[in-house]
Structure 1
Amino acid sequence: MSMTLPGLLRKRAATDPGQVAMTVHGSGSLTFGEWERRSSGTARALRGRGIGRGDRVGLVFGNGDWLDYAVAFLGVIRAGAVAVPLSDRLAGVDVDAMLAHCGATAVLRPGELPYAEGGEDLEPVAPGDPAQILYTSGTTGRPKGVAATHANLAYGCGGRRRPFTHSRHLAHAFPVGTNAGQWMLVNAVDAHPEVVTLPRFTPGRFAALIEHYRAGTVFVVPAMAIEMLAAGVQARHDLSSVLLLGSAAAPLPARVAGDLSAAFPNATITNYYTSTEAAPAQTVMIYDPERPSSVGRPLSGGAVRIAAADGGALPPGTTGEVWMRSPAATRAYYGDEAATGEVFRGGWVRMGDLGYLDGDGYLYLVDRESDVIKSGAYKVSTIHVEEAVHRHPGVVEAAAFGVPHPTLGKAVAVAVVGSVPHEELRIFLKDLLAPHELPLRLITLDALPRNHGGKVDKRSLREVAS
């Protein structure tokens, strides 16, 4: 049966009103009863302002604002409107551009949530109604809004056996405004454990959070895992409560997975592979020393195939384009039919990665099709960075590319042609780029290397920067 998140929250509030759904350590908690009451009041207030079905509402929140964000998100979609989650870490110009692109009619921020008491219950939303637009940097260099329905967001929810029943607490540090963060929001509505997080991630603070709550389930991105291992948190904190440690947002390096197994002695180490476009389709890989670099096999009715450029299926062991089939209603790019047609086809989603399947159906990633830089929990568009750099009058040409980083996986580097001092350029970019988009390395060249087609040769740039 198709479900919606407002419907699921209403049921949990009716059966477990006093149970805590979500906690931000040091800031407070939110019970299911409070979540239902506050989000319902927000929905009524929005309806009172004339905001309803299909209207887009921007939600600009930080990681310390998860409780207000949870209320705002459920309130917006309960009103029949479409929630547009945006992190407050984004550059202001980007937030404005995304709000303009989706035609947002209102913006909600922490401490500014509307509320209206009483009145008749709102008309319920339908599973096929639009519910969310989540922006992600695409290969074209400009953020694309990925639209999802209520049925897509709530797929697999509402079953008799709730997810992660082995845990009383689920700990994570995912940012607001990311696909991984939205997954944790859904878990807070539907899963068994109380979801706990913290305003700002540091290795020690997160390890202390796990120890304090005796969390049985923990989710990280590889960069967080690497930082925790490098800090040696396992020597100072009791992590024995963790039975499942999941890594998402980027492939987990095999060496890191092995080290995590030692640091979390009772945990099953699991890697999740998906994308904002493909969710809830995913592959899951329980760490296996025999297949250390695989990202696993699809679950719950999904599927993976490897295709040639013409769309034809390729045999096991052959590298090609990775496509995933969603078991739920597929997503789409908001306001971009051409891009939707290129990525979403007949229930299949083009992942933008190159990879291959082995004889047992395990997926291995080979490379990214584009130059998008995966830095920690974020994807950084090189074209977007280049556009910002080019706005400085002293820059003649610029090219952004990824360089290895010990904790983030990749970091941003920029090669510049021009006379601008590096420190001056860094100060200039602070108002144009989000923190994770700022270049870690700047190099000045007399000219950018180019291939025979006239395009910048970024492989040569990486060699220069190494």
Structure 2
Amino acid sequence: MTRVAPPGSLIELLVHRAALHPDRVALRNGPRALDFGTWRDRAAALAHGLLARGLRPGDPVGLRYGSTGWTDYAVAYCGVQWAGGIAVPLSDRLAPAAAAHIVEDSRCAGVLHGEGGPPPRLPAGVWQATAADTETGATGAVDGLPLPDPAAPAQYLYTSGTTGLPKGVRATHANLAHGCTLDERRRPLRHSRTFLHSFPIGTNAGQTMLVNCLDTAATGVAAPQFTPLRFARLIEEHAVGSVFLVPATAIELLASTALARRDLGTVKLVGSTAAALPQPVALRLSQAFPGAQIVNYYTSTEAAPAQITLLFDPDHPDSPGRPAALDHLRITDSEGRPAAPGEPGEIWLRSPTAPRAYLGAPDADTEVFRGRWVRMGDIGRLDADGYLHLLDRERDVIKSGAHKVSTIQVENALHAHPDIADAAAFGIPHPVLGSVVAAVVVPRHGEPDTTRLRAFLLDRLAAHELPARILFRPTLPRNEGGKVLKRELHRLLDDEATP
């Protein structure tokens, strides 16, 4: 059998698929649909328009789109890369300060945006436009546009800022296209006519779904907004074969009656990503979708395309699953030595291709990237039967739904208020989101008005970063070294809740 060489870029994959079946729908998003031929032609027209505007090789371009703009985002993403630029995804859910930081930190030459407009506070000299206004040239003007160099940078994707401000992660064209195929006989998700997700643009999970639209045999369906009833209706309406969730949406879906009396027989795979799926939730998913394999996808913005596929086993409900392969996983002790079976340690994943890297952060690179190995920031262990157990985060990160929240970033926003002398943020349990933010605040002269405080924070934090509970206290408990004892903060909230 003749081996078909893999694509060197997602643009090469798009051109290939558009030539074979231009009328096949690659992506649906509400009433909008995007076939491969239109995707290629609009991306080429946009690339010509960007070059006419003066885009230079290696220029970053921000892409600000919302969950109803997936088809336009897909065109913009490929058009920027085809023109030799670097795509910088920006969710329209970002707080203004976070969006401004990403645009400035990545040194964006310009921003393409959807119906929601550009992010506020664009730095001087950064242009903004819609993709439609920038598309030029005849339809299908592919001639004169060379395929990207696989080694050239293609994307800056920003982390969710779990240890402070979001950090940009650089990926090459080869990194993004790794694992994709030009062999039509080997397309992933062949068991599915469609796959469904509701991930936000600008997240690693959302980017994975965009690559799935280009690479898999199935048509992608991006839900414009997640509600259990709408999501369940889409499963039935599109005869979905693969469903992709985060733990929060899985919990909300299972807690509703949305799946009752729905035909779920087409679903063969239910995948969860972005955070560890609680084992009881995985078990309930396997009961709700009896014909489906439940899968936990374990990766990160830094590690991709390194990924561990954990196949959930109802007979081992205390583990998210057994890795399909162990070649790209290792667990080490504090000295970097392999941990013995059953012993906890740091989790590392190995990239099968050129790894990603942080933008302008060599110190962070050495902490996270070691050759092709990537430090995940999680503590875990492998049991004697080969099942992975995720034990905890190494840092005090709050995972709220599909998002990771930095307590440092929340505390910085609180400290910016003129009436606040001190503050500490931490996570408290939530029945749907897993965790939400709580804060203990030390006021300067008396308790600030909570409504005004929240309005102040709205300009500095995204909605998922806002404290759900705020408690005012005269001091914060600290150890001798001056560090806040966050376990004591939990007790303060418990005492507050006690009648």
TM-score, with normalisation over the residues of structure 2? 0.90
SS in 1 for 2:69: helix
* Counterparts of 2:192 and 2:218, CA distance in 1: 6
- Partner amino acid for 1:52? R
Aligned residues of 2:153 and 2:170 also touching (Cα < 8 A): yes
Identity value in percent:
53
Aligned to 1:411: 436
Among 14, 19, 28, the residue aligned to 1:14 = 19
Q: Quick check: 1:453 aligned with 2:481?
A: yes
Residue 167 of structure 2 aligns to a residue in which SS?
strand
Hey, what does 2:458 align to over in structure 1?
430
Structure-2 residue corresponding to 1:115: 135
Give the total of aligned pairs: 465
Aligned pair in 2 of structure 1 residues 300, 63: CA closer, same or farther (>3 Å)?
farther
Aligned with residue 101 of structure 1, among 102, 105, 109 = 105
- 2:307 aligned residue: 282
Q: Is the 8 A contact 2:308 2:325 kept in 1?
A: no
Kindly indicate whether the alpha-carbon contact (under 8 Å) linking 1:282 and 1:299 is maintained by their aligned counterparts in 2: no
Note if 1:149 corresponds to 2:177: no
* C-alpha displacement of 1:14: 0.3
Distance in 2 (alpha carbons) for counterparts of 1:250 and 1:204: 23
The match for 2:239 among 210, 214, 231 is 214
1:414 shift after superposition: 1.0
Verify: 1:177 aligned to 2:202, yes or no: yes
Deviation digits for residues 30-79 of structure 1 (CA, Å, limit 9, x no counterpart): 00000000011111111111213211100011111000000000101111
Distance in 2 separating the partners of 1:298 and 1:10: 34
Question: Superposed, which structure 2 residues align to 1:200-211 within 5 Å?
Answer: 200-211=225-236
Q: Which amino acid aligns with 2:106?
A: C
State whether residues 98 and 165 of structure 2, in contact with CA within 8 Å, keep that contact through their aligned partners in structure 1: no
Q: Which amino acid aligns with 1:317?
A: G
Q: Superposition pairs for residues 310-329 of structure 1, below 5 Å?
A: 310-329=335-354
* Equivalent AA in structure 2 for residue 422 of structure 1: T
Partner of 1:376: 401
Structure 2 equivalent of residue 66 of structure 1:
70
What CA distance in whole angstroms lies between the structure 2 residues aligned with 1:383 and 1:6? 38
In 2, the alpha carbon distance for the partners of 1:279 and 1:301 equals: 16
Q: Deviations over 1:158-184 (max 9, x none)?
A: 143111001111111111000000000
Mapped contact 2:311–2:322 kept (Cα < 8 A)? no
Show CA shifts across 1:118-144 (max 9, x none): 463212111111111111134531110
CA distance in 1, matches of 2:327, 2:95: 36
- In the alignment, does 2:383 pair up with 1:358? yes
Q: CA contact under 8 A between 1:282 and 1:298: conserved in structure 2?
A: no
SS, match of residue 462 in structure 1: helix
Q: From 57, 63, 67, give the equivalent of 1:53.
A: 57
Q: What is the Cα deviation at residue 341 of structure 1? A: 1.3
Q: Distance in 2 between matches of 1:256 and 1:359?
A: 24
TM-score normalised over the length of structure 1 = 0.97
Match of 2:119 in 1: none
Instruction: Tell me if the contact between 1:24 and 1:64 (Cα under 8 Å) persists in the aligned partners.
Output: yes
Q: Aligned-pair distance for 1:240?
A: 2.3
Q: CA deviation at 1:301?
A: 8.2
User: After alignment, is 233-242 or 211-220 more displaced?
Assistant: 233-242
Q: Is the 8 A contact 1:2 1:127 kept in 2?
A: no
In 2, the alpha carbon distance for the partners of 1:216 and 1:431 equals 40
Q: CA deviation at 1:2?
A: 4.7
Q: Which amino acid aligns with 2:409?
A: H
Root mean square deviation, CA, Å: 1.5
SS at match of 2:186: coil
- Give the Cα separation in 1 of the matches to 2:429 and 2:243: 26
* 2:312/2:322 contact within 8 Å kept: no
Could you tell me how far apart the structure 2 residues matched to 1:28 and 1:139 are?
A: 34
